[in-house]
Structure 1
Amino acid sequence: MAIRLCNHLRYPLFSPVRIPKSIQACKFSVQNPILEPIEWQKLVLEVREKLEKDHSSLPVGKNGRDDEDMILWFLKDRKFSIEDAVTKLTKAIVSITRMFLLSRRFSEKWRQEFGVSELTKESLESIAESGKAYVHEFLDVNDRPVVIVVASKHFPATQDRTENEKLCVFLIEKALSKLPAGKEEILGIFDLRGFGPENADIKLLTFLFDVYYYYYPKRLGQVLFVDAPFVFQPIWQLAKPLLKSYASLVRFCTAETVMKEYFTEETQPADFKN
């Protein structure tokens, strides 16, 4: 596994773990014999039972030996041959499991090095009292915890970068602790009203998205850039390529949109009522 140095996080990182295309279910179109749905279901059940009997040590759940969508895809890929599907499925699940374990160990190593468990409200009091970022007390209409960043209160030239990074991670952890049962995603809101060149900080922005990308995958549901002024546009053009796939989660909108589409009248953030 290749090692590289991430300038934004200042820690050695493994290259992002990606599932090989050969085992990414539902991304291929395969020519197969025409079978009725009832026949598909019977074959899926047979494969599932065979995996349970002969490969009980394989994990269950998403991308596991009882994932019926995944089983069906491999059946189609192997032209509905149960033996061939079982053989290929077994190899695929083992590969996915290994990558998952590697990714988890990678994340745990970073958490120890960064000192995530040591981050507290008291230890970050000096930077948090600036009001530049906080977790909103209410969930949005989609039951997502909300992290709000007030860009006009961020001054990278005079504020400690390390403390800013710690605050970012602390707020992510706090937001995750507010997740309702069955929910996984966070909403991020960047309030860009009053934003000026002195507030620009591409390094911290890419640090934040890198943290989500490498250590909190699939936790960031959407990012709102609210009332972005003209001066923010060139900064966004520079930052966008650095945000990887998360750039597609960004939506530019107005404060009015935030209030009407993402919160009820009772749960609107006070900053957007002014």
Structure 2
Amino acid sequence: MALRLCPSFSHPLIASSVSVGNTSRIRRCSIRNCILEPNESRKLVLEVKEKLEKEYPSLPLGRNGRDDDDMILWFLKDRRFSVEEAVSKLSKAIKWRQEFGVSELSEENVKAVAQTGKAYVHDFPDVDGRPVLVVVGSKHVPLEFDPSDDEKLCVFLLEKALSRLPTGKEQIIGIVDLRGFRTENADLKFLTFLVKFCSAESVRKEYFTPETLPASFGD
């Protein structure tokens, strides 16, 4: 048995679904897909930038910083284009990234945990073009590593998957392989998402082609 995390992970952080908006400024709005007219979009992004600069001047700049247009627009969508709510959530997210040291994570400093094979970013996207994060439940032993090491691996792999998002895509998909899962592998701390349970056969047929299927899900 495998399970697909649902809703899918979304850029730039794991987040809830975007609610359907109801405002004249929105040209088209559906779950996770709210679009403004270009001029309105740029105006709101600028408003958020200015508020962040005024209220949180110590936050870093650059990619995933307070002046990152793409990140700001994503949070605006997530907050149904509320500037105040976007600023509040975005400032917290940037602070968390800074305190956790996300930008300092590398293959080398998560190497020991990664070598267990408990989680990895698959080489190929799913049939919808989404990057795929695979977690192998039977290889996760909570007492084997310090919880902080597992957290670093989790964040590093999410960042790696998100970095592979093609233009126009905002979701990655997480697949947790529960085959061979035992009580000693249980760690509910890392399973805080809604899930869709499915068989390995469903994973093969619904999310991949024979050429892109993860090796562990082969016949």
Which TM-score bucket, shorter chain as reference? 0.5 to 0.7
Alignment counterpart, residue 262 of structure 1, candidates 194, 207, 210: 207
Please state if 1:188 is matched with 2:174.
yes
**How many Å apart are 1:25 and its aligned residue?**
3.4
Q: TM-score, with normalisation over the residues of structure 2?
A: 0.65
1:176 aligns to what? 162
CA distance in 2, matches of 1:144, 1:158: 31
Please state if 1:272 is matched with 2:217.
yes
Alignment counterpart, residue 191 of structure 2, candidates 189, 202, 205: 205
User: Once the two structures are superposed, what CA deviation does each residue of 1:165-190 show, in whole Å capped at 9, x if it has no partner?
Assistant: 01000000000010010000011000
Amino acid at match of 2:90: R
- In the superposition, relative to structure 1, how do residues 157 and 122 fare at CA in structure 2: closer, same or farther (>3 Å)? same
Give ranges in structure 1 of 5+ residues lacking alignment.
1-15, 28-43, 46-58, 65-92, 207-245
1:114 aligns to what? 100
Q: Is the 8 A contact 1:133 1:149 kept in 2?
A: yes
1:141 aligns to what? 127
Alignment counterpart, residue 148 of structure 2, candidates 162, 165, 174: 162
CA distance in 2, matches of 1:203, 1:187: 19
Which gives a bigger RCO, structure 1 or 2 (Cα 8 Å, sep 6+)? Answer: 2
User: Once the two structures are superposed, what CA deviation does each residue of 1:16-73 show, in whole Å capped at 9, x if it has no partner?
Assistant: 99x9x9xx7349xxxxxxxxxxxxxxxx79xxxxxxxxxxxxx722996xxxxxxxxx
CA RMSD between the two structures:
3.0
Q: Is the 8 A contact 1:63 1:96 kept in 2?
A: no
**How many Å apart are 1:159 and its aligned residue?**
2.0
Give ranges in structure 2 of 5+ residues lacking alignment.
1-14, 26-38, 45-78
DSSP-derived class of the 1:123 partner:
helix
CA distance in 2, matches of 1:109, 1:251: 32
Runs of 4+ in structure 1 over 2 Å off = 24-27, 61-64
Count of aligned pairs between the two proteins? 157
1:1-274 correspondence to structure 2 within 5 Å: 25-26=21-22, 60-61=40-41, 96-206=82-192, 246-247=193-194, 250-273=195-218
Amino acid at match of 2:205: K
Q: TM-score, with normalisation over the residues of structure 1?
A: 0.52
Amino acid at match of 1:156: P
DSSP-derived class of the 2:135 partner:
strand
Amino acid at match of 2:207: Y
